Amino acid sequence: MKQDATRNAAYTVDCEDYVHVVEFNPFESGDSGNLIAYGGSNYVVIGTCTFQEEEADIAGIQYKTLRTFQHGVRVDGIAWSPETRLDSLPPVIKFCTSAADMKIRLFTSDLQDKNEYKVLEGHSDFINGLVFEPKEGQELASVSDDHTCRIWNLEGMQTAHFVLHSPGMSVCWHPEETFKLMVAEKNGTIRFYDLLAQQAILSLESEQMPLMSAHWCLKNTFKVGAVAGNDWLIWDITRSSYPQDKRPVHMDQACLFRWSTVNENLFATTGYPGKMTSQFQIHHLGHPQPVLIGSVAVGSGLSWHRTLPLCAIGGDHKLLFWVTEM
C-alpha cells in the first residue's frame, strides 16, 4: 500500500453547477461506456465515461454528456432502472429522482424525441433513499423523514407501505431474492422486510445514533455496512444483530456509506459536505487505516463504478473520481 493515503482525485469532469448527487449505473446497459448520472440545483445530466483502467488508448477519462433533463428543483437522489439499455433501438434511459419538494420523478428517454417524466407523490417529508427493484425494474422503493418506506409501481401507485419508528435513511433491494428489502432508520435500527408477507423478518442494531446511511453488500449479502455518529459499522447478519466491527472515521459526523461493487472488503465513506477538507475515505476490511483519503473541499453523493475499484463523488462544479488498488 502507498504510505501517503491522502490524495487528490485521479480524474475530474467540470460541471455547470454544484453537484448534489452522483450515481454510476449499477446495471449492465449493453454498452462499453459506463453510464453516470448527476444532479444539480435544477437539472439531471446523463453521461458516459470510460477510464484508462478499462481501455488502454484512453488518457485518463473520456466523458461525454448524452442528455440534460430539466428538473426545476434541487435533485437529492438518483436511482437507475435495470431497464436502461444503450444497445436497444431506440435506446432506453430510465431513472428516478428524489427532490427537495418531497416528490419522486420517474424519467424515461430514448435520447431523441421521447423525454417523459411522471411525478410520484405521497411522502410528506424529505426522501432520503430510493432504489429500483433490480431484476425487472417494475417497482421502486423509497424512504423518508416522514417515517415511512413506500413501494411504488411504474404507474405511480403505492403497492406497499411500511411505518417506521424514525426517519428512513437508506433502502436497498436484494440483488437475487427480490422479495427482500433492507431499510435503515435514523434511530440505528436496520430491518429486512419480506415483501410477499409484507412484514419485517430480521433486524440489526447499531446502538449508535444518528445512523445516516447503510448499504447492503451486493458481493456478499450477509454483510451490511453503515455510518452512525462518527463511526463506520459492519455486520455479518449470520452471526449477530450487533456490529462485528466498527471504527471512528469522520470527526465531524459521517454522512454516506457505500460498498464497492467489485470487492466485498472495500467500501467508502464521506463526512458532512463542506465541514472539513478531507471527508471522503476508502476503507478495506483487511487494513486498520483508510487505504485512501480523498482531499476535496466540498463533496456530496458517493457512487462506485460497476466493474472497477473506482469511486465518484460530486463537488463544486465538478465530478471527482478516485481509483484504489484492490
Interval 84-136: pLDDT, tens: 999 999 999 999 999 999 999 999 999 998 999 999 999 999 999 999 999 99
Q: State the cell numbers at 107.
A: 424519467
CA nearest 148: which of 133, 130, 173?
Answer: 130
DSSP 32: S
Say which amino acid occupies 42.
N
What pTM did the predictor assign? Answer: 0.95
CA distance 242 to 234: 9
CA distance 64 to 48: 5
The full set of domain ranges for the chain reads: 7-121+297-325, 124-218
- Counting as low any pLDDT under 50, the low residues of the chain are 1-3
Q: State the cell numbers at 199.
A: 412484514
CA distance 140 to 216: 16
Say which amino acid occupies 234.
I
CA distance 84 to 109: 9
Domain 124-218 = CATH 3.30.565.10: no
Q: Tell me, what's the pLDDT at 2?
A: 43
Q: Tell me, what's the pLDDT at 3?
A: 44
CB neighbour list of residue 302: distance below 8 Å, 6 or more residues apart: 22, 256, 258, 268, 270, 280, 311, 312, 313
Interval 241-257: pLDDT, tens: 999 999 998 888 899 99
- Same CATH fold, 124-218 and 7-121+297-325? no
**Do residues 236 and 271 touch, judged by C-beta distance below 8 A?**
no
Concatenated DSSP letters of 113-176: S-EEEEEE---SS-EEEEEE-TTT--EEEEEETTSEEEEEETTS-EEEEEE-SS-EEEEEE-SS
Query: CATH classification of 7-121+297-325, choosing from 2.130.10.10, 3.40.1280.10, 3.30.530.20, 3.10.129.10?
Result: 2.130.10.10
Q: Tell me, what's the pLDDT at 294?
A: 85
Q: State the cell numbers at 143.
A: 424512504
Taking the chain, what is the end-to-end CA distance rounded to the nearest angstrom? 10
CB atoms within 10 A of CB 113: 7
